[in-house]
Structure 1
Amino acid sequence: MTVPGDGSDRSDGADCARRFLAVDSGGSGLRVVVGEVGRRASGPLVSGEPVRTGARGIDAGHFMERLVPMVRSSVGGAGVGDIGTAVIGAAGLATLGDELRDALPGALAREFGVRTVALVADAVSAYAGALGARPGAVVAAGTGLIAIGTDLAGWRRADGWGHLLGDCGGGAWIGRSGLEAALRAYDGRDGGSGALLRCAEEQFGAMTGLPGTLYPRPDRAAVLASFAPRVAACAPDDPVAAGILRAAARHMAESAVAVCPATGEPQVAVTGGLFKMGGPLLVPLDEELAKRLPHARRVAAEGDPLDGAVRIAGDLAMGALTLPGDDVMLSVVTVKGRGDHF
């Protein structure tokens, strides 16, 4: 990935103001890039351990425990030196980010000399990676689902309420719907799918044991989402599975409509691991988007949330950030010294 800049290829060492740290933090762990504006950044370092959450939300201390060794490793164990800009994209920031907002700017300043910190909801970094600073809407779907849109004056979001209250059309939603169809077939009720029942028994064992297997799990959403690929695999030959994916596509399109600018020529993109399902999901989704958002243009996502964090870092370091600021979705903090910020 290349960070926006003047394209210079200097070899006299990184200037603090041009050096950046970009982080994507989510349920699968951390991905980290340390780079310099205008130069191609090396591939990310990856840690599979997610950051803990506590009484005040995402644990800032544990975040730094995970981050610091990764940053030092990225520069080969040498002194890190001062980093001018840090962009932290974090899942759950909008609702669980109080401790990060309070503690992280000072911690990054003390550890790396960071002067400017952007705390970014993962939906915003996904948007920036997919569309950059253009008006439109992005549907981000993996285990969960959220849609985010902007007219470059403010942000709008839809869904992202978690697998018990929402995330309609996401991986956990599809998996749960597939397992419900399997249980309907097991009971002999209408709406069941014998194909999905066979898949469920292969993956989870006897259906009578499924509630006891599923309900106590703290990672219940991920377990439900693990069944979504089986739904997609059945869809070409099973009308019940195909119907579940069509319903998922409708939910996604509804969320996109809720956040997409109603005027102009906005762009719409999708991003996230769920779309690796391919045609069984993407074909009905394209049909729904064309029907519901005729004024918008469907485009391929340019990059992922880490690419978005890198893009924001480059724009911020160059004083060229045009994405709208927001206390919850995208907030920028200037640090006065090694630990004090305003």
Structure 2
Amino acid sequence: MTGGPERAFVVGVDSGGSGLRIALAEAGSGTGSGAGAGVDEGGTGPAAGADAVRVAVLETVVSRGPVRTGPGGIDAGQFLDLVLPAVAAMTGRAGGGRIVAVAVGAAGMATLGDRLRAELPDAFAAAWGTRRLALAADAVTAYAGALGQRPGVVVAGGTGLIALGTDLSGWRRADGWGHLLGDCGSGAWIGRAGLEAALRAHDGRRGGSAALLARAEARFGPVAGLPGALYPRTDRPAVLASFTPDVAACAAAGDPVAAGILELAARHIAEAATAAAGSGGAGAGGAVADGTEVAFTGGLFRLGEPLLGPLRAELAALLPGVRQVPAGGDPLAGAVTIAAALGGGSLRLPEDVRLLQLTR
């Protein structure tokens, strides 16, 4: 006689510019409408909401670097070379069991994910015997991590910035167009604005900040050499964003130029949230219902009051009826939440050809 039914697991994957994170979790149950906080790290802590999917994360593995991107998009072969052995090792350490569902959130999934969409379903079916697979843009896993499967709006901000809203019948996206065309209010946007103010001070033009000039030269060296050092780099957005903490520090110290940059960033962020909520943007669906939840997630929002104070004011002016709530979890928690709901047949987030594709 065996000691009981075979254990069931789900796998969540978060693939981004800084690396690959893979989580093995116990398959949960419930309606799956709760927040990402229902993902219990190490099997401890309460699930979020009375009807949340309760998922115990058993182990997380982090890769040393990001998955390569080439002319064909995200490299599915390298992705599988990283994920399959890691999951096999984690499952073995957990005592064995079967994988019932997988969710992959990847930066660039919408435009660079063709190879993942073509190769992952068959590869996971061959390795684990499951075709329950969700392939999501990282904005969707950020949403699921922050709000779970509840309607609302999530703004994910770091080097870049994107806002995503849903009433569970479809998605509304705002910004996320990259540092050259958008990502307004993001870390790259704030850093670039701060460096522009530093260069204005260097030149003696209006709008410059001596405090930002001093910070820029302390971080990068003489600013006259900054264009030549910056423009050839392929990681320009990250380099620009690296100056964002300096802008926040100058704003906190009372520099009016730096404070003005963060006030304008807050306005851009609130405008993106407003558009994603369906109010004030192209294709907007009308007024936002009172009580609509808005969450902010990502490293940008750890800058503190120099950004958060103006953001609260802008949000109150543009979306007076909404309720700001803390993010329940990060994008990896969102991937696990989606996998658990998919495995239990309770996934409520809407399918979308570019944002969330499902196989069952």
Aligned equivalent of 2:25: 35
Q: 2: CA distance between counterparts of 1:42 and 1:181? A: 47
Q: Which residue pairs with 1:298 in the alignment? A: 324
In 2: Cα distance, 1:34 partner to 1:219 partner: 31
Aligned to 1:112: 128
Partner in structure 1 of residue 221 of structure 2:
205
Pairwise CA distance, 1:68: 2.2
Alpha-carbon offset, residue 79 of structure 1 = 8.7
What amino acid is the match of 1:292? L
Tell me whether 1:258 sits opposite 2:275 in the alignment. Answer: yes
Q: Over residues 13-46 of structure 1, what are the superposed CA-to-partner deviations in whole Å (9 max), with x where a residue is unaligned?
A: 644xx42110011011111111222352124211
Q: CA deviation at 1:82?
A: 3.6
TM norm structure 2: 0.86
Q: Which residue of 2 aligns with 1:243?
A: 260
User: What does the per-residue CA deviation read over 1:33-86, in whole Å, with 9 as the maximum and x for residues that have no partner?
Assistant: 112223521242111311111122111111112212322332356896541100
Q: Does 1:71 align with 2:61?
A: no
User: What does residue 293 of structure 2 align with?
Assistant: 267
> Does the 8 Å CA contact 1:136/1:260 hold for their aligned counterparts?
yes
Q: Structure 2 vs 1, CA of residues 263 and 189 (structure 1 numbering), >3 Å: closer, same or farther? A: closer
* Conserved 8 A contact 2:133-2:339: no
1:318 and 1:97 map into 2 onto residues whose CA distance is 25
Equivalent in the alignment of 1:99: 115
Amino acid at match of 2:258: A
- Secondary structure of the structure 1 residue equivalent to 2:196: helix
Q: Residues 163 and 115 from structure 1, CA distance in 2 versus in 1: closer, same or farther, beyond 3 angstroms? A: same
1:144 Cα offset (Å): 0.3
For residues 328 and 137 of structure 1, the distance between their equivalents in structure 2, rounded to whole angstroms, comes to 18
Three-state SS of the structure 2 residue aligned to 1:242 is helix
For residues 186-225 of structure 1, the aligned pairs below 5 Å read 186-225=202-241
Question: Which deviates further from its counterpart, 36-45 or 262-271?
Answer: 36-45
User: 1:23: which partner in 2?
Assistant: 13
CA 1:78–1:127 in structure 2 vs 1: closer, same or farther (change >3 Å)? closer
- 1:143 matched to 2:133: no
Q: Distance in 2 between matches of 1:82 and 1:37?
A: 10
Distance 1:164 1:122 in 2: 20
Residue range with higher mean Cα deviation, 77-86 or 281-290: 77-86
* 1:153 matched residue in structure 2: 169
Per the alignment, do residues 242 and 307 of structure 1 end up closer, same or farther by CA in structure 2, a change over 3 Å counting? same
Aligned length: 322
Write the deviation string for residues 241-268 of structure 1: whole angstroms up to 9, x where unpaired: 1111111101001110111143433110
The answer to whether the 8 Å contact 1:20/1:314 transfers is yes
Structure 2: state its 5+ residue gaps: 29-54, 279-286
Distance 1:170 1:35 in 2: 32
8 Å CA contact 1:144–1:172 kept in 2: the answer is yes
**Contact 1:129–1:304 at 8 Å: present in 2 too?**
yes
In structure 1, the partner of 2:149 is 133
How many percent identity over aligned positions?
A: 61
State the match for 2:304 in structure 1.
278
Matched position secondary structure for 1:157: strand
- Aligned residue number for residue 338 of structure 1: none
Q: Which string of whole-angstrom CA distances, capped at 9 and with x for unpartnered residues, describes residues 71-127 of structure 1?
A: 233235689654110000111111211111111111122223232110011111111
Q: Choose 104-113 or 189-198, whichever is displaced more.
A: 104-113
Match of 1:325 among 351, 355, 358: 351
